[in-house]
Structure 1
């Protein structure tokens, strides 16, 4: 995963005491709301609270060093029965999603055979963590070095060691609760937002065209986003998510790592990531899809790295599917584990080998759009993406700065089968995110680029609910900044969701006439009938002898047999900032001849 700092315990009681005392300290600290560049303390901390918390943390760490862990195994079965009807195992929204996309139910939708579990648990040294219906497997804790004896059972196909976990957990069933608040004012509208209303988040949203989508009434409303991470500390308390609780938009999913419903007490990373798409703090920060539903799943352990975390991700995906989630945003990835024998190689990153890649693939097959971070290892020895970023049918997200320059840390593709990865990129260099203290700060990582992009994709899904996940993926790819020449660094380029929206609108209305979808200082993007021949000229008029206008061409070119979208790049030639230019496009298509003009074109790159 993207490593985060967190405390972890095998005795939750001691952890809770330490956190309560730490909270005493935090209550004496108030974020400086006037300075949103970073969370700053404006009051002196309570020395007494710090001391008490420090002592308990020392006790906690000492106790934790003696805490007992247990081995964890993946037990795969070789048979599965389709018992009952899908309605017994899937929620109403999950059934509706399948109906909308004409997805038939299959054995993946039915649970693991309970008789198999009962037979395995006759050994009192074995304990069930959870089952995985998509893998037809169980995840078992055991006070044993191996479970080879299970291979003698006729219904067991495979047993694999997947790491260590906390012993004697009291397993809770998910309850998917919603925190509620009553506020005097809970409006979350976006159509009339100004630059000032977006606060520090304006530029990272505008970079991928989200602001225009908001202005057109698409802010993620009706789209349910599940976010998988290491924890969501204070997300229920910070200003960014107060209105969500007043409008029923925040749901506590499940802590698959801790096997309970306490998703908000662990780590800061998930809070920061969720704010990228979900926050609504007018005047300070607006996320890329502030009106989407937000469901939180904790799948990670901060202090260890084993394939068990992959399986936690898989379980979260199954739960998300069953409750009707539309989109998964995951800023997690796997390649190297604490037990090196379990690590992956580059050849394994084929989108098919890992546990988590199977779950990501099936999630898409069930009608869920999945976005996952590429990873932050582009400037180290590994360099490559992890998994599930290697899955062809998901959107893998790289990181750029606000000038569309690649973040050097952003992990590189492609996957082992040569599929273009990452798919697209968005802001992950000095991206603004929320802190558990209530303020906002800048950070680095594809962890942040992913939820920023995810929110924009959710807005696109709201605009075109009829599009399947694969159709959404394709629309996002073909309208990104370098879709005509994708690479293994930025994929198809920086997402341009405003262009995607306009392009799909043209297609939906069956409009055959060419149209400028977007023109800025970098490029012109034109929707045109397939098979058209296009020529273009960029020119300005210059006075000759102060009397006559002379046309002076600075760039010209042509495209033969173009696809649906033509892109004219302006970045490879020098011009003067003081001049305004005209772009003229002549097009001969199967349905006719057309001329487009764009005046007052600013191409300043001095």
Structure 2
């Protein structure tokens, strides 16, 4: 080969490589959360919610007097179809954010942005590029989970600390409640001896992997299994969880191989799915503040309850009548030291960690939130927390990842014992039950709650209607079910006597059928019902400016 030939060959080879490299760049995809301008033209309506929500989900809202809004409506299918026509892959849609999670090339993204109904993309950039290998995990990825250790004892300490043993003695174990665990995977949970009762009873009602878009979750990371076992195990003599009687949805949202804002989006999608199932309690032993791409990192100022995507998603979840419990974070001994998202969300129960002596664990992230609210909310045992690992061995681990499921289990069983309470009333009871409620600190928040203390708060502040003495404490409504009656009677309780009460009757879609002011000067008041009121479930709200009482009415 002559020099000229060699030079020509090198030029052709270099040109070919550059052309191929350019094509690879053009074809490289990333994931984006595409924001839509509206839901105009959607075939879904708030008066027919079972087209997109389970009856259990609708009933949860109805019990708490929560009306359906346009945020609950699914994304317009026509918009999704037009996005697909650009060649982009559609992974999921988000009702609450009115968005579509897509995987697209730069060319496809340009076409998507040009669509008239597209408002832009969340964060104005990609959520994630190609997945990082396990060998390239950053410190942020490695520290986000709890730290496994050897077995230091039985689960009695962590149960007694919350008064959950007395709770079980009274028959409350979460039965009838649905808990969704949003985590990184549930390795071997389906063969874990400590969880076998749940599987034999078919109380693991659904599983889904939102990272891979598949149903299986038992072959991924072990972190979710550990969390699940702390909350739900029943292995007598070794490990019993506070909510061993509940039913569970196991949802994978976390990719343990990397840390990116994409995981906030998958959390949002999974939380919406949990809502549609009729979930009562969400546990998420995850937190976000640092990412593999440092440009995506949050600052402490962002922990203000309204900035991060996952924090907004957690508040939206709470607005549907679910309770969200989140780990505070394991950054207490690091330069960051503060809570991470979504622990900063206003409605979320953020959980710090203590040891068996109730001393704060050094790694437990501290508060307050950036806008000055008390965080963490409460604490539970997160140092030497007893769990059943992926091998089925009862051992122990450290992390707020492991204190959170103890509180989530307490919440589920406590709500079982007080079904008249709304989600936010339950959250209020748990906060007020903390042993430091009168003097909260940035380390402990309101302190360590117990079932007995929460019950006392509920009795003192949220007494059930129709309970106590010869005269009802607050109010009784009859007839209920209404049947063919054209009126409701409200028998006023002692706390309503002589007060002006605003009364409203709404259906599950939020439509108001009756609204009036009533003076509770007489033993009872009559409410005439509209003649056109159809059969169904309704919510009667009574507000005397001191508290709001809610009753379910059946027509």
User: Is the counterpart of residue 268 in structure 1 residue 233 in structure 2?
Assistant: no
CA contact (8 A) 1:141 1:165 kept: no
Aligned equivalent of 2:128: 163
CA contact (8 A) 1:70 1:166 kept: no
Higher RCO (C-alpha 8 Å, min separation 6):
2
User: Is the counterpart of residue 106 in structure 1 residue 106 in structure 2?
Assistant: no
User: Is the counterpart of residue 70 in structure 1 residue 70 in structure 2?
Assistant: no
Choose the corresponding residue for 2:112, options 116, 134, 150: 150
CA contact (8 A) 2:329 2:365 kept: yes
Q: CA deviation at 1:511?
A: 7.4
CA contact (8 A) 2:93 2:101 kept: yes
CA contact (8 A) 1:423 1:493 kept: yes
Q: Distance in 1 between matches of 2:107 and 2:448?
A: 48
Aligned equivalent of 1:352: 306
CA contact (8 A) 2:182 2:284 kept: yes
User: Is the counterpart of residue 451 in structure 1 residue 405 in structure 2?
Assistant: yes
Aligned equivalent of 1:139: 101
Q: Secondary structure at the match of 2:106?
A: coil
CA contact (8 A) 2:333 2:363 kept: yes
Choose the corresponding residue for 1:121, options 74, 84, 87: 84
Q: Distance in 1 between matches of 2:28 and 2:215?
A: 21
User: Is the counterpart of residue 474 in structure 1 residue 428 in structure 2?
Assistant: yes
Equivalent residues in 2 for 1:329-368, closer than 5 Å:
329-368=283-322
User: Is the counterpart of residue 83 in structure 1 residue 43 in structure 2?
Assistant: yes
Q: Secondary structure at the match of 1:251?
A: strand
Q: CA deviation at 1:299?
A: 0.5
CA contact (8 A) 2:131 2:257 kept: no
User: Is the counterpart of residue 402 in structure 1 residue 356 in structure 2?
Assistant: yes
Q: Distance in 1 between matches of 2:458 and 2:335?
A: 41
CA contact (8 A) 2:207 2:216 kept: no
**After superposition, what is the alpha-carbon deviation per residue over 1:339-397, rounded to whole angstroms, capped at 9, x for unaligned?**
11122111111111111112111111101011000000011011111111110111000
Structural RMSD (CA): 1.9
Normalising by structure 2, we get a TM-score of 0.72
CA contact (8 A) 1:83 1:110 kept: no
Q: Distance in 2 between matches of 1:343 and 1:146?
A: 27
Q: Distance in 2 between matches of 1:367 and 1:83?
A: 25
Equivalent residues in 2 for 1:405-444, closer than 5 Å:
405-444=359-398
Q: Distance in 1 between matches of 2:376 and 2:28?
A: 37
Q: Distance in 1 between matches of 2:304 and 2:265?
A: 18
User: Is the counterpart of residue 96 in structure 1 residue 96 in structure 2?
Assistant: no
Q: Distance in 2 between matches of 1:346 and 1:145?
A: 35
Q: CA deviation at 1:166?
A: 6.2
CA contact (8 A) 2:386 2:397 kept: yes
Q: Distance in 2 between matches of 1:250 and 1:69?
A: 38
**After superposition, what is the alpha-carbon deviation per residue over 1:199-234, rounded to whole angstroms, capped at 9, x for unaligned?**
811110000111111111111111110001110011
Give unpaired runs (5+ residues) of structure 2.
Answer: 1-26, 133-152, 470-555
Q: Secondary structure at the match of 1:164?
A: coil
Query: Against the structure 1 CA distance between its residues 376 and 166, is the aligned structure 2 distance closer, same or farther, given a 3 Å change threshold?
Result: closer
Q: Distance in 2 between matches of 1:139 and 1:163?
A: 11
Q: CA deviation at 1:144?
A: 2.8
**After superposition, what is the alpha-carbon deviation per residue over 1:13-66, rounded to whole angstroms, capped at 9, x for unaligned?**
xxxxxxxxxxxxxxxxxxxxxxxxxxxxxxxxxxxxxxxxxxxxxxxxxxxxxx
CA contact (8 A) 2:86 2:111 kept: no
Q: Secondary structure at the match of 1:486?
A: coil
Equivalent residues in 2 for 1:272-287, closer than 5 Å:
272-287=226-241
CA contact (8 A) 2:301 2:370 kept: yes
Choose the corresponding residue for 1:369, options 310, 320, 323: 323
Q: CA deviation at 1:148?
A: 4.1
Equivalent residues in 2 for 1:454-465, closer than 5 Å:
454-465=408-419
Q: Distance in 2 between matches of 1:249 and 1:383?
A: 38
Q: CA deviation at 1:272?
A: 0.5
Aligned equivalent of 2:154: 200
Q: Distance in 1 between matches of 2:86 and 2:346?
A: 41
The answer to which of 390-399 and 245-254 deviates more is: 245-254
Equivalent residues in 2 for 1:488-527, closer than 5 Å:
488-506=442-460, 508=463
Q: Distance in 1 between matches of 2:248 and 2:392?
A: 18
Q: CA deviation at 1:293?
A: 0.6
Q: Distance in 2 between matches of 1:287 and 1:404?
A: 19
Query: What is the total number of aligned residue pairs between the two structures?
Result: 413
**After superposition, what is the alpha-carbon deviation per residue over 1:504-559, rounded to whole angstroms, capped at 9, x for unaligned?**
245527779xxxxxxxxxxxxxxxxxxxxxxxxxxxxxxxxxxxxxxxxxxxxxxx
Aligned equivalent of 2:511: none
Q: Distance in 1 between matches of 2:287 and 2:68?
A: 29
Give unpaired runs (5+ residues) of structure 1.
Answer: 1-67, 168-198, 513-606
CA contact (8 A) 1:252 1:263 kept: no
Aligned equivalent of 1:296: 250
**After superposition, what is the alpha-carbon deviation per residue over 1:87-121, rounded to whole angstroms, capped at 9, x for unaligned?**
10000100110111111111122111111122222
Q: Secondary structure at the match of 1:111?
A: coil
Q: Secondary structure at the match of 2:171?
A: coil
Aligned equivalent of 2:523: none
